[in-house]
Structure 1
Amino acid sequence: MASMGLSIDEQKAVERFRQSVAEPSMTQLVVLDFWAEWCGPCKALAPVLEKVCGEYADKGVVLAKLDVDKEPFIAAQFQVRSIPTVYAVFQGQPVADLTSARTESQLRAVLDQLLAKLPIQPGGVPVPDLAPLLAMGEEVLAAGEAERAQSIFAQIMEMAPDSAAAAAGLVRAMLAAGQVEEAEGVLGALDPGLAADPLIAQARAALELARDKPEDSELAALQAAAAAAPGDMDAQFAYAGAAFAAGQREEAADVLLRMVAADRAWNEGAARTKLLQIFEAVGLEDPWVAATRRKLSTILFG
């Protein structure tokens, strides 16, 4: 709210608004109640606002009251034409009109919806922008720097313990570094609500596949056995699973695709099922998964 060209009284009003509403709204959700002493409906609504905002204080909600008779300039800026008028303000801007929420249940429902969308944590602390950090972690992991990626995801989890993306990234980084037991520990310690997230399901699928990771000598033996007997589906399947667990997803997928093409019904469709498990572990949005799924569809449906 600019103050250039304003009178002294208007500038003082803007400063009061800045201190009581704008600044708190940078990190919290401010419920701004426009009222007046003579307004009966305002007095009826006030206890509802005070009670519910008090209940939501630990979620980052604060109540600010503005007397329209004492602050007509601010009321005019918000185009208040009748009272009570109630707005939710975040980062200096109205984000919702709460005027119609006249009961406790109605107000709670609207606040729950707003808090689910806005970057506010309990205590009014803004959630940091995790997207660039998560992208960095994924890029580092894709480049094969598992330990560095692990450090990045661990730092993100310290900032945002409820980030499913960070937890899943940490697990996948640990698996890439060969730390299967550590990855199991991270998954086992997750909050039940977080554990149900699709990204965590993806990480869990990756863990299941990683448990099959062979020693180098064992992988070489499985590769040799598969090469010596192209028609031996059991040998091909064992090698494909080991190859993926060892980080050779292209090789694993190629073997499984050849198996599906040769006999899609073998062992109740085990090769296709293994491919789908690999897709889930890598992530259905991954470009490699999309390309490989197209290959599978071509084999299955021509």
Structure 2
Amino acid sequence: MSETPQPAGTRGAVDLSSVSGLPSAAPAGAGASGAPEAPAAPADGGRPAVPEGLVVQVDATNLQSSLNRTLQVPGVLVLWSSAHPQTLELVDTVTRVAASLEGRVLVLVADLSAEPELLQAFQPLLVQAFGQPTVPATFGLLQGQPVPLFPGMQPESEVRAVLDQLLQAAVQNGITGRVELTPVPGAPEDDELPPLHQAAYDAIEAGDYAAAVAAYEQALAENPKDHDAELGLAQVRLLERAGSVDVNAARAAAAADPTDIDAAVTVADLDVLGGHVEDAFTRLLDLVRSTAGEDRDRVRTHLLDLFAVVGNHDERVRKGRTALMSALF
């Protein structure tokens, strides 16, 4: 029996469509075609040109169909206001980062000043997420569910780090679809993924985690500094470990004996997949403090693997690394 994984950042998320009384997200496979695509931005005015298909302009008529598209492809929703033109800069930043991710993220954009119905719909969500109806504001979308990312303006480096975390959560939940993009006319074509990375993605989509592990391991053997392969390997190994776990037995064993390392590391894996990242880290940190020798080294190594899965930019990982150093020394 395997535990149904949930996105690492979606605890407490609400059904976005419910705030406006719209029907909830349709089942997987529901038609999402017909949602108007934003045309590539003009080159003049300093705005970035983007591949057609990457950005959807959301209005009251296509909100539901736009949400449905994130059933298979991770999405990022940017709320801005034409009454405050400076907020358009965040749209450009998010779009530029998403364009570099080669279709792994769909960008949804909503101008709340131009769409009073959307303003009314999103106000409760903004208050719940950030304490006030602020714009600009950015949410991740996984299977139609919003994940608060950040309010206000952010530099490109921070946006990239946050979207990396969103993609990690998406992979953990098997949301690995891509947007079919049409390159901007006259723009240089993006390089294709390295063959071994493409093989790993194809294997993940097919549910063949062993093949994905083999592809990433071969990529690292050929280039030990391949950070993307290292990150992908950590994520797929987690999915592979958790795939055949008897959840009830593992949790019962961990509860009966908190010093049972096998049970502890298994439950920590399940906690990360279920979004209980802090619980996973705390469980293993407690074991680091109470063990020694090979046992301590095994727990420490597993904890470092989970740090890699969650991502070094995550604040929980930063705190976890500090706590680990304290526990070790």
TM-score under structure 2 length normalisation: 0.39
Q: Which structure carries more helix by proportion?
A: 1
Choose 1 or 2 for highest CA Rg.
1
The answer to which structure, 1 or 2, has the higher relative contact order (CA under 8 A, 6+ apart) is: 2
